[in-house]
Structure formats: structure tokens, C-alpha cells
């Protein structure tokens, strides 16, 4: 890295991404050319309260979540009792931690805002569960307890439709209120996965608590093995399909209204996958179907996520390469920022500097990745505020680089 990149390099060509993938951007606007950096970096502009898009909607969502949470707590304590509810919650934390760790790995390249991640988990754990329980209660009041054929329909039809709609609604709300943090398929998968993880957490509390009440430690252990060990990613995978579809809509620059169609297609895929999963668990030999159907589905899901991560890496390299052509980064910095191995090596090198400057390197990597994403939004014409954000991020990366090399 260098403190003062040269200003005489040619400006980049603003051509569309040359990806063979169908995920490439379909439209290209004409954002301002990247200007070479000056010898003295401009002061970093800290975020102000000017652009708080969706704040009013967030307040309403949080208020609703709090009210539903109170109702859910009352339901669990009344229907299941404090002891069984506590045991169920403790056991449900175990698969949740594993899922959150996996999602963190997926989200590591361009981390999403922490507040939105928490909101996604809360929506799944509170609002989506509340909707599903409410619909189930209403249908029970109308048709009576589920037995026989209706129990099968409840598992294979009602649960997939109602639960995926409730979870997908949360992903769509994040898409509608936080578009600048919803850039593409990986973002959609992350938000969808966290909504699914939150839903599975609360659902597991109920399953584990009921198992403890009805069969003691033996049945609880069996239920924990089936849900917490064999299939902790089931709901994560289902809702990620909806998130993936909305992520594609975001990458194509579709408005909230235009994204309803792709969102419904993703929802249909999530419902079908959920119904298939539940059906395979009800009919035939569970472990045979688990190994021959459910495990391959999960492996395919993982491979898809890996392919999308590689797409993000290519996008980062191309966009930062344009800044390197204008003198803001060196080619070596672009190579470092565009690969996981390069980032690890950079963090290890930063630890050898005086005072351990790893935090500065982490900030540099985060801001540079955000800069690449901002540039992509500018090129596709789907973020009118991208130019201002671009200037701020360029100033921040320059200031962080200078601080890292300060004596």
C-alpha cells in the first residue's frame, strides 16, 4: 500500500460487468468519472442524521415486535409452563448458535448492518411465529383439532404456506425499508437465513418443551437430535430462497412494487421446498429419505452460496480496479481486497505493525468493500445517493491508509 497514490493514471472505462453469470447487472448508467486523489486526503465526513430512510417504519416494526413478544411469552408460560419453556429455550440456543456462526461466514465479505441482522432474527423469532400460531389457532377454532387427513394437510400444506409467507414478509420489509443494505443475492440469503433461524429458534422451544412434558428426557433427546443436530438449517434454507429472489430483484434495480413478482416466485420456491421437506419426513423411512433427498438439497444450497460468494469477489475486484486505474488504490491492494486469502494475509501483516493496527486494516477492508458495492449501485443507476457515499468512502479509505502507515 502507498500513502500518496499517483494522480497521473488514466481514468477507468465505465463498461458494464463482463460476467458470464446471469447475476450480472442488466442496466448501465453514467456516474461521474472517478477523479484522481489529491496529495492531501479530504476530511472524513461522519454520517449525520440527514439520511435515515425507513426510520419511521422501523419504529413501527419494533413496536409491533415488542407487543407480539409479550403475547408469545404469556403463551409459553401458560401453555407449557416455566420449567418446560426454560428447558426448551436452553436447548434451542444450541442449534441457533451454530446457524448464526454459519451465516456470519457467508456475510463476512460485505457485512450487513448489525441492526438489520438483529431485526431479521427478531422478525423470525417473534412476528413470523406469532402469525403462524395465530393462523393455526384460527383454523383450529373453525375446523377443530387436526387429526387424520387434516393433520397431513397441516404439515404438508398449511405449515409451508403460512410459515413461509410470515417469514418472507419480514425479508420483504427489510428489502423495502433498507434498499442500500440489500444489494444482491448474498444479502437476500443472509436476511432470509436469519429470519429462518429466528423462526426455528422459537419453534424449537415449543417442540423441545412439549417433548419434555410428554416424554421426559428420552423424548426430548430424540427431538433435539432430529431438529437440532440433523436439520438445524431447514428453515434457514427455505427462507433463503425468498431472500435470494429479492436479492436478484435488488441487483436488477427493481423498485419495491416491481419486486413483488420476483418475491412471490421466491416465496413459491420456499413453500415447495418446505412442503417437500415436511412430506419426506412424514412418509417412508425418515433416515433413508434424509440421506437421499434432504442432505443433497442442503449440499446444493451450500454450493450455490459458494458460487455467489465468488461472484461478489469478482465484482469487488472489477470495481476496485477502476479506482486503482484512477490512483486511489494500488494493484497490489486490489489483489489483497478481492480475495479471502489476501485479506487474511493483510490482517496478519497489520498485527506486526507498531501497536497492532489490525483494527485499522479491518476498517480499510470493510470500507473498500463497501466502496465497490457503492460503485456498482452508481453504475446501475439504482442509488441516487451513491456519489456522496462514494466520496465519503474514498476519503475514509485514504485516511485509514495514512493512519496505518503513520510512524
Task: Write out 149-169 in H/E/C secondary structure.
Answer: HHHHHHHHHHHHHHHHHHHHH
**CA 6, 10, 14, 15 torsion: positive or negative?**
negative
Domain boundaries, the chain: 55-283, 312-404
Residues 6 or more apart whose Cβ sits within 8 Å of residue 216: none
**Buried b vs exposed e over 3-16: b needs ≥16 C-beta within 10 Å?**
eebeeeeeebebee
Question: Could you list the pLDDT tens digit for every one of the 407 residues in the chain?
Answer: 443 444 443 433 333 333 333 344 444 444 445 656 654 444 444 444 434 545 677 788 888 999 999 999 999 999 999 999 999 999 999 999 999 999 999 998 888 999 999 999 999 999 999 999 999 999 888 887 767 777 888 889 999 999 999 999 999 999 998 888 898 899 999 999 999 999 999 999 999 999 999 999 999 999 999 999 999 999 999 999 999 999 999 988 888 999 999 999 999 999 999 998 888 877 767 788 788 877 888 899 999 999 998 988 999 999 999 999 999 999 999 999 999 999 999 999 999 988 889 999 999 999 999 999 888 888 877 777 778 888 999 999 999 999 988 88
CA angle 347/350/356 to nearest 5° reads 115
Model pLDDT, residue 279: 86
Exposure string over 287-314, b if 16+ CB within 10 A, otherwise e: eebbeebbeeeeeebeeebeebbebbee
Are 87 and 208 within 8 A, CB to CB?
yes
Amino acid at each position: 500500500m502507498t500513502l500518496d497514490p499517483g494522480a497521473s493514471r488514466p481514468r477507468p472505462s465505465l463498461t458494464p460487468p463482463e460476467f458470464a453469470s446471469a447475476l450480472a447487472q442488466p442496466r448501465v448508467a453514467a456516474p461521474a468519472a472517478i477523479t484522481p486523489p489529491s496529495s492531501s486526503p479530504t476530511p472524513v465526513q461522519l454520517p449525520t442524521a440527514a439520511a435515515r430512510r425507513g426510520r419511521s417504519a422501523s419504529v413501527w416494526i419494533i413496536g409491533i415486535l415488542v407487543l407480539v413478544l409479550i403475547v408469545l411469552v404469556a403463551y409459553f408460560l401458560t401453555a407449557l409452563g416455566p420449567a418446560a419453556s426454560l428447558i426448551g429455550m436452553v436447548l434451542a440456543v444450541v442449534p441457533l448458535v451454530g446457524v448464526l456462526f454459519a451465516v456470519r461466514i457467508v456475510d463476512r465479505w460485505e457485512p450487513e448492518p448489525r441492526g438489520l441482522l438483529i431485526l431479521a432474527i427478531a422478525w423470525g423469532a417473534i412476528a413470523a411465529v406469532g402469525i403462524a400460531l395465530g393462523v393455526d389457532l384460527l383454523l383450529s377454532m373453525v375446523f377443530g383439532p387436526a387429526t387424520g387427513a387434516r393433520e397431513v394437510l397441516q404439515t404438508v400444506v398449511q405449515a409451508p404456506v403460512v410459515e413461509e409467507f410470515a417469514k418472507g414478509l419480514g425479508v420483504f420489509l427489510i428489502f423495502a425499508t433498507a434498499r442500500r443494505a440489500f444489494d444482491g443475492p448474498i444479502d437476500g440469503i443472509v436476511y432470509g437465513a436469519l429470519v429462518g433461524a429466528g423462526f426455528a429458534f422459537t419453534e424449537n422451544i415449543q417442540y423441545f418443551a412439549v417433548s419434555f412434558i410428554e416424554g421426559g428426557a428420552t423424548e426430548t433427546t430424540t427431538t433435539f437430535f432430529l431438529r437440532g443436530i440433523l436439520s438445524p438449517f431447514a428453515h434457514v434454507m427455505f427462507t433463503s430462497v425468498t431472500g435470494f429472489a429479492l436479492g436478484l430483484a435488488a441487483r436488477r434495480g427493481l423498485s419495491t412494487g416491481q419486486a413483488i413478482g420476483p418475491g412471490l416466485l421466491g416465496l413459491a420456491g420456499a413453500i415447495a421446498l418446505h412442503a417437500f421437506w415436511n412430506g419426506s419426513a412424514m412418509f417412508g423411512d425418515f433416515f433413508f429419505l434424509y440421506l437421499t433427498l434432504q442432505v443433497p438439497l442442503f449440499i446444493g444450497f451450500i454450493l450455490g452460496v459458494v458460487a455467489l460468494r465468488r461472484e461478489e469477489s469478482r465484482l469487488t475486484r472489477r470495481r476496485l480496479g477502476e479506482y486503482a486505474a484512477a490512483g486511489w488504490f494500488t494493484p497490489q491492494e486490489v489483489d489483497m481486497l478481492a480475495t479471502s486469502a489476501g485479506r487474511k494475509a493483510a490482517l496478519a501483516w497489520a498485527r506486526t505493525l507498531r501497536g497492532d493496527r489490525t483494527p485499522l486494516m479491518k476498517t480499510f477492508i470493510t470500507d473498500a468493500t463497501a466502496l465497490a458495492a457503492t460503485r456498482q449501485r452508481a453504475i446501475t443507476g439504482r442509488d441516487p445517493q451513491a456519489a456522496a457515499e462514494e466520496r465519503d468512502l474514498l476519503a475514509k479509505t485514504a485516511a485509514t491508509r495514512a493512519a496505518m502507515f503513520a510512524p
